[in-house]
């Protein structure tokens, strides 16, 4: 396994290009199962999760060609030759569950391994399943798999999600595009990745209203056709790199950055002392004065994104005062806290609340990553820490951040990757 070594103290200056969104691409790719015609995705990120989704879709009979060094994905599913998504792939990436709705909608059958939990929580899929049942699917859970059938096709239904689940919304939205009649989904997720999926499905001929609001209305059609769609900018990669010049000092331009994707996060970052200005090519970020404390509560979009909580905590460990972070989306998403404490941070965690008492400085240390966003919060802390921070198990990082070392070192960070 590789590790990343960061030596703190370097101010950052330069530009960081922001890639296409991992969490948009992971739902756009399964949409290719909905049609026999080609779906082309541009601005695709080059990440290990995309390779895993490619492996899964290929096992189902979907041809996936990676073009232009992985920036363009050309997908085509003339027919689904295998309707079973096996555990050995699904266990590597929970987003695999997103092939369930499309396979059911296209062919009326699907067998998908239950994804199981992960480091940040139990991650059930009950909302995905109850929504599909509302649309007429017959589901049988046995031996760790969902055996799903809809022999006469899915039927439009009215369904209220108990929680605005991102994946649940994506699965049901894709399934509804080919259902007979109209589907109305209430209390859906409103994340930019949902809006991006709706735009792509509409380009494929789907009839959808309400994306970005709490209610989606989908009028089923008989068939969808091919399309070419540009993957939306990755707001989580964007927010992560916006934090880099704020924690390390300096000024960085995030190429492709869009403030409208992260309004709540930007407001909190400005409260913490950042100056964010829009440029013709993206967003320019620097810090003005000391890092100031700010209270954070993670919420569904448009609230503060849970996927940026760990990164914000890294910054707030150096604030002049106390910040309270409340994690409301996942039950166990403070695993970065013990590692930050080893670097000298002063953090008290009780249940879903982390109280961060700012300290004057952090000290580099060997630290262990446990999930994708926890990993990158340790890198950010290392940029500001005195001395060397060694982050191991960086395979977590490769799931969500392409060329992280190259992007940060191009702005002057003292950072390298080596074999462990």
Residues making contact with ligand EPZ (CB under 6 A): 23, 26, 94-95, 121-128, 163, 165-168, 306-307, 329-330, 372-373, 400
Distance from C-alpha of 218 to C-alpha of 104, rounded to nearest angstrom: 16
* Residue 172 C-beta-side C-alpha neighbours within 13 Å: 37
Distance in Å, CB of 98 to ligand EPZ, minimum? 8
Supply the Cα-derived Rg of the chain in whole angstroms.
Answer: 21
Instruction: Give kind and range of the element (H or E) at residue 294.
Output: none
Beta bridge partners of 388: 7
Residue nearest to ligand EPZ (CB): 167
Instruction: Compare residues 286 and 399 and give the one whose CB is closer to ligand EPZ.
Output: 399
* Residue 216 C-beta-side C-alpha neighbours within 13 Å: 38
Instruction: Compare residues 77 and 96 and give the one whose CB is closer to ligand EPZ.
Output: 96
Torsion, Cα 232 236 242 245, to 10 degrees, reads -130
Q: Which residues contact 194 (CB under 8 A, 6 or more apart)?
A: 166, 169, 170, 173, 188, 211, 212
Distance from C-alpha of 34 to C-alpha of 29, rounded to nearest angstrom: 10
Distance in Å, CB of 362 to ligand EPZ, minimum? 23
Distance from C-alpha of 53 to C-alpha of 60, rounded to nearest angstrom: 11
Distance in Å, CB of 367 to ligand EPZ, minimum? 18
Instruction: Compare residues 23 and 409 and give the one whose CB is closer to ligand EPZ.
Output: 23
CA angle 277, 259, 93 (to 5 degrees): 135
Instruction: Compare residues 67 and 122 and give the one whose CB is closer to ligand EPZ.
Output: 122
Distance in Å, CB of 330 to ligand EPZ, minimum? 5
CA angle 405, 409, 412 (to 5 degrees): 155
Distance from C-alpha of 127 to C-alpha of 130, rounded to nearest angstrom: 5
Cβ atoms of residues 13 and 251 within 8 Å: yes
Distance from C-alpha of 174 to C-alpha of 102, rounded to nearest angstrom: 6
Distance in Å, CB of 124 to ligand EPZ, minimum? 4
Distance in Å, CB of 165 to ligand EPZ, minimum? 3
Of 18, 362, 351, nearest to 192 by C-alpha is: 18
Distance from C-alpha of 106 to C-alpha of 123, rounded to nearest angstrom: 26
Instruction: Compare residues 95 and 294 and give the one whose CB is closer to ligand EPZ.
Output: 95
3-state SS of 236-285 is HHHHHHHHHHHHHCEEEEEECCCHHHCHHHHHHHHHCCEEEEEECCEEEE
Distance in Å, CB of 377 to ligand EPZ, minimum? 11
Distance in Å, CB of 95 to ligand EPZ, minimum? 4
Distance from C-alpha of 227 to C-alpha of 212, rounded to nearest angstrom: 21
Active site residue 118: yes
Instruction: Compare residues 3 and 190 and give the one whose CB is closer to ligand EPZ.
Output: 190
CB burial class (10 A; 0-12, 13-18, 19+) of residue 360?
exposed
Catalytic residue among 25, 62, 118, 411: 118
Instruction: Compare residues 125 and 150 and give the one whose CB is closer to ligand EPZ.
Output: 125
Instruction: Compare residues 186 and 416 and give the one whose CB is closer to ligand EPZ.
Output: 186
Distance from C-alpha of 93 to C-alpha of 398, rounded to nearest angstrom: 13
Supply the residues annotated as catalytic.
Answer: 118
């Amino acid at each position: 396994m590789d590790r990343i070594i960061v030596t703190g103290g370097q101010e950052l200056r330069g530009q960081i290009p922001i890639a296409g969104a991992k969490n948009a691409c992971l739902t756009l790719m399964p949409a290719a199962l909905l049609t026999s015609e080609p779906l082309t995705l541009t601005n695709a990120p080059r990440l290990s999760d995309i390779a895993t989704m490619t492996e899964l879709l290929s096992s189902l009979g979907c041809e996936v060609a990676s073009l232009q060094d992985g920036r363009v994905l050309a997908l085509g599913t003339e027919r689904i030759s295998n309707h079973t998504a096996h555990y050995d792939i699904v266990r590597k990436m929970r987003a695999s569950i997103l092939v369930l709705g499309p396979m059911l909608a296209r062919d009326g059958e699907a067998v998908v391994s239950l994804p199981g939990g992960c480091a940040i929580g139990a991650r059930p899929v009950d909302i995905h399943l109850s929504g599909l049942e509302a649309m007429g699917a017959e589901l049988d859970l046995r031996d760790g798999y969902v055996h799903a059938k809809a022999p006469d096709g899915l039927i439009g239904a009215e369904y209220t999600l108990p929680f605005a689940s991102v994946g649940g919304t994506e699965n049901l939205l894709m399934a509804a595009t080919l259902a007979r009649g109209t589907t109305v989904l209430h209390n859906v997720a409103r994340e930019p990745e949902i809006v991006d999926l709706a735009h792509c499905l509409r380009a494929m001929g789907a009839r959808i209203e309400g994306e970005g609001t709490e209610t989606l209305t989908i009028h089923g059609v008989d068939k969808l056709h091919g399309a070419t769609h540009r993957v939306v900018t990755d707001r989580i990669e964007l927010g992560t790199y916006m934090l880099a010049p704020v924690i390390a000092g300096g000024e960085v331009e995030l190429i492709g950055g869009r403030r409208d994707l992260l309004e709540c996060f930007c407001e909190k970052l400005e409260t913490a002392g950042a100056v964010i200005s829009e440029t013709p090519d993206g967003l320019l970020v620097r810090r003005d004065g000391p890092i100031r404390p700010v209270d954070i509560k993670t919420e569904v979009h448009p609230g503060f994104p849970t996927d940026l909580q760990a990164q914000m905590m890294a910054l707030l460990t150096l604030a002049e005062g106390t910040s309270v972070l409340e994690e409301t989306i996942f039950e166990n998403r403070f695993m970065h806290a013990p590692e930050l404490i080893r670097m000298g941070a002063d953090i008290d965690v009780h249940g879903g609340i982390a109280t961060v008492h700012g300290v004057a400085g952090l000290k580099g240390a060997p630290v262990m990553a446990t999930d994708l966003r926890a990993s990158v919060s340790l890198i950010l802390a290392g940029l500001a820490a005195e001395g060397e921070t060694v982050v191991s198990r960086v395979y977590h990082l490769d799931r969500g951040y392409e060329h992280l070392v190259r992007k940060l070192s191009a702005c002057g960070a003292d950072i390298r990757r080596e074999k462990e």
